[in-house]
């Protein structure tokens, strides 16, 4: 596990994915315990930067009436449809709409070390779970090229949610040849459908993704 000069990739640490805090209500798609991961993410961010690494954050950035919104299809969250571009598109509540509070990063997330914010899902007709590819599995976000230009070989992932955007990002990261590590206490899952978190973790492990706690990672970064 080589963590010096690594990238910390913070996935979708946004208000709409977090439970209530600072007098605000739950986000539109709040992940249970989502706010609990801010502290380990902040600790990792500072440590990675101190060791010459980089920190990047993805941001769901949907237009109104996005293809992933159940309201765009007169359907209900949890339904699955085929779109003209992708099959088996999961439908969600309206969330992370461009320019809204819900799309903002959690206010306690330390952004000082973040050198790249990668907005995804901004095309009205196409969703994006992975930090590397849109859901058509062909359209690149440009993240791979940025990492290679910097000579980064190791990517540490944390954020929301384990069974969707963290999962797809980690799977793509490993498939592209990067050493890929998920910080176990810096992720939480949405668990839709039941068992999806357990299945996602098993599939990531089978693909060669490593798992370590933030304390283990911080020890390696000292």
Catalytically active residues, by annotation: 12, 120, 165
Tokens of 139: 């359209």
**Partners of residue 117 on adjacent β-strands:** 57
Angle formed by the axes of helices 196-206 and 165-175, nearest 10°: 10
**Cα–Cα distance between 93 and 52 in angstroms, integer?**
39
Contact by Cβ (8 Å): 217, 156: yes
Helix, strand, or coil here: 171?
helix
Count other Cβ atoms within 10 Å, centred on residue 101: 12
Tokens of 185: 């206490």
Helix (H) or strand (E) holding 198: helix 196-206
Contact by Cβ (8 Å): 189, 196: yes
Query: Which residues lie closer than 8 Å to 87 by C-beta, 6 or more apart?
Result: none
**Cα–Cα distance between 99 and 107 in angstroms, integer?**
15
Contact by Cβ (8 Å): 28, 93: yes
């Amino acid at each position: 596990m080589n963590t010096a000069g690594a990238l910390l990739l913070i996935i979708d640490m946004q208000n709409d994915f977090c439970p209530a805090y600072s007098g605000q209500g739950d986000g539109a798609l709040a992940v249970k315990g989502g706010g609990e991961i801010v502290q380990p993410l902040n600790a990792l961010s500072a440590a990675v930067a101190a060791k010459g690494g980089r920190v990047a954050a993805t941001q769901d950035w949907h237009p109104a009436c996005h293809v992933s919104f159940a309201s765009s299809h007169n359907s209900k969250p949890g339904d699955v449809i085929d779109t003209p571009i992708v099959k088996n598109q999961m439908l969600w509540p309206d969330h992370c709409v461009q320019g809204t509070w819900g799309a903002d990063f959690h206010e306690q997330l330390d952004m000082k070390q973040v050198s790249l914010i990668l907005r995804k899902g901004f095309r009205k007709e196409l969703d994006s779970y992975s930090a590397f590819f849109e859901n058509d599995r062909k359209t690149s976000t440009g993240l791979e090229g940025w990492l290679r230009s910097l000579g980064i070989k190791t990517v540490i992932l944390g954020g929301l949610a384990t069974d969707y955007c963290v999962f797809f990002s980690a799977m793509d990261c490993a498939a592209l040849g990067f050493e890929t590590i998920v910080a176990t206490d810096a992720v939480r899952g949405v668990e839709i459908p039941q068992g999806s978190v357990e299945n996602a973790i098993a599939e990531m492990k089978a693909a060669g993704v490593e798992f370590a706690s933030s304390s283990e990672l911080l020890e390696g970064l000292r």
